[in-house]
Amino acid sequence: MERVHLRDVPVSTLAGRLRAAGIASADAAARRLAWCVHGAGVLDWDGLRAGLDLGREREAVLRARFRFGPQLAPLAVRESEDGTRKYAYGLASGDVIEAVLIRNRANRTLCLSSQAGCAMGCTFCATGELGLRRNMTAGEITEARARIQAATGERVTDVVFMGMGEPLHNYDAVMDACENLNCSDAAPVARKRITVSTSGLVPAIERFTAQRRPWRLHLSLHSAVQEVRERLMPLARRYPLPELLGALRRYQDLCAVKWVTLQYVALPGVNMDDAHVDALARELRGLRYILNVIPWNETGGAFRAPTWAEVKDFTTRLRRLSCPVKVRYSAGKQDGMGCGQLSAETVAARPTAGHMLAPPGIFTA
């Protein structure tokens, strides 16, 4: 029998698996196990033995069915001047993934990765340049939360899948991770505080809708002009705007979502002119949405970041056409921690104003 990693198991199936293994009081045992693995952030069998008061016999039964142990190797952590932290972890495959903790008054928002690299190839994004290395497992995804909570002593209140990767391209693992992050027997992140952000994988949006997933779904739109969207996001060639917006409207109706959030990276000279303002007002008619304008964060290449005046002018023209719009500045962007800047570089090597909390090899979160 192939042994599954305990952290990969959706908590809703845990009691059934324990029952099938012949463990007595399986429901109570599953609750305790979920607390240890997802709430207390226990990382190995020694921790489980202590947390669960496992007898030898029970441990042997569990070990016969489950693998357990750390799957991320801490590489480095950097803190920006605004308190945002970027963590780099190595996977067993040798790939590197990143997670970003954003501190905002009482909230602690964790931006998680779902893949090492990304297959979508968005031309404004540093992760897209890497190509897809591999999908992360549900356990690897949630271990980042467990480690960061333990290292900071701060409880994560919000999770956004806006790190490396297209989360709906790794659908099953991300949905299992969401369930385990929300697990009421552990330290739960509330349903509506878990956000999955997609670049527009239409079949996966339809699946998300059909399954009535309770997590928030955001769409990275970036242009309502088909040709320009195709240039920014190669995926748009496969799923043109009418098809994509149709899927989004069905999601809004069937999942009873009041407002859908659309992300819009502001790129002067590319997607901020009058033609784009008109296209947004026209194409989004009938959808209840908020347009989150994100000034592009520097990653090198052919684009430039907009000035504050350019962003203000763009949003003013949108508001004149009754488009509901907000501006979102990325935390930690000056230190390579903002949207589109996660490139699995060695955080230690980046010469920025932020400071290293611990260099590779010393940091143990």
Q: How many residues does the chain have?
A: 365
User: CA 348 to CA 345: how far, in whole Å?
Assistant: 8
User: Measured from the CB of residue 162, what is the shortest distance to ligand SF4 in angstroms?
Assistant: 8
Is 29 or 125 the residue whose CB approaches ligand SF4 more closely?
Answer: 125
Cα–Cα–Cα angle for 38, 105, 309, rounded to 5 degrees: 120
State which residue has the least CB distance to ligand SF4: 128
Compute the C-alpha angle 241/245/246, nearest 5°: 115
Binding ligand SF4 by CB under 6 A: which of 127, 170, 182, 292?
127
Cβ proximity to ligand SF4, 35 vs 239, nearer residue: 239
Binding mask 338-357 for ligand SF4 (x = CB under 6 A): --x-----------------
Least separation in angstroms between residue 347's CB and ligand SF4 is: 18
Nearer of residues 42 and 159 to ligand SF4, judged by Cβ: 159
Q: Please state the φ and ψ torsions of residue 170, each to the nearest 5 degrees.
A: -125, 55
Confirm or reject binding of residue 160 to ligand SF4 (CB under 6 A). no
- Report the relative pairing of strands 96-104 and 85-90 from DSSP bridges: antiparallel
- How far CA 283 is from CA of 201, 242, 243, 248, in Å, comes to 18, 8, 12, 12
User: Measured from the CB atom, is 165 or 306 closer to ligand SF4?
Assistant: 165
- Residue 290 has φ and ψ, to the nearest 5°, of -120, 130
Q: How far apart are CA 244 and CA 282, in angstroms?
A: 15
CA gap 59, 52 in Å, rounded: 10
Residue type, 359: P
Shortest spacing between CB 197 and ligand SF4, in angstroms: 8
Size of the residue set binding ligand SF4 (CB under 6 A): 12
Instruction: Let me know if 129 is a catalytic residue.
Output: no
Q: Of residues 36, 79, 98, 323, which has the active-site annotation? A: 98
User: Quick check: 336 binds ligand SF4 (CB under 6 A)?
Assistant: no
Give the Cα separation of 91 and 116 in Å (integer).
Answer: 9
Q: Which is nearer to ligand SF4, 6 or 112 (CB)?
A: 112
Task: Choose the catalytic residue: 122, 178, 183, 339.
Answer: 339
The window from 103-111, 138-146, 160-168, 311-319 that contacts ligand SF4 (CB under 6 A) reads 160-168
Alpha helices in 153-273 (DSSP H): 171-181, 202-210, 226-232, 241-254
Give the other-Cβ count within 10 Å of 149's Cβ.
Answer: 20
Q: Which stretch binds ligand SF4 (CB under 6 A): 24-32, 104-112, 116-124, 240-248?
A: 116-124
Based on the residue annotation, tell me whether 125 is a catalytic residue of this protein: no
Taking the complex as a whole, the smallest distance from the CB of residue 330 to ligand SF4 amounts, in Å, to: 13
Residue 136 near ligand SF4 by CB under 6 A: no
Print the binding letters for residues 163-202 with ligand SF4: x by CB under 6 A, - otherwise: -xxx--------------------------------x---
The binder of ligand SF4 chosen from 48, 101, 122, 294 (CB under 6 A): 122
Distance, CA of 158 to chain centre: 10
Contacts of 252 (CB under 8 A, 6+ apart): 260, 287, 288
Residue with the two structure tokens 């290449």: 301
125 binds ligand SF4 (CB under 6 A): yes
Provide the minimum distance between the beta carbon of 100 and ligand SF4 in the complex, in angstroms, as a whole number: 13
Query: What residues are annotated to the active site?
Result: 98, 339
Residues contributing to the site for ligand SF4 (CB under 6 A): 118, 120-122, 125, 127-128, 164-166, 199, 340
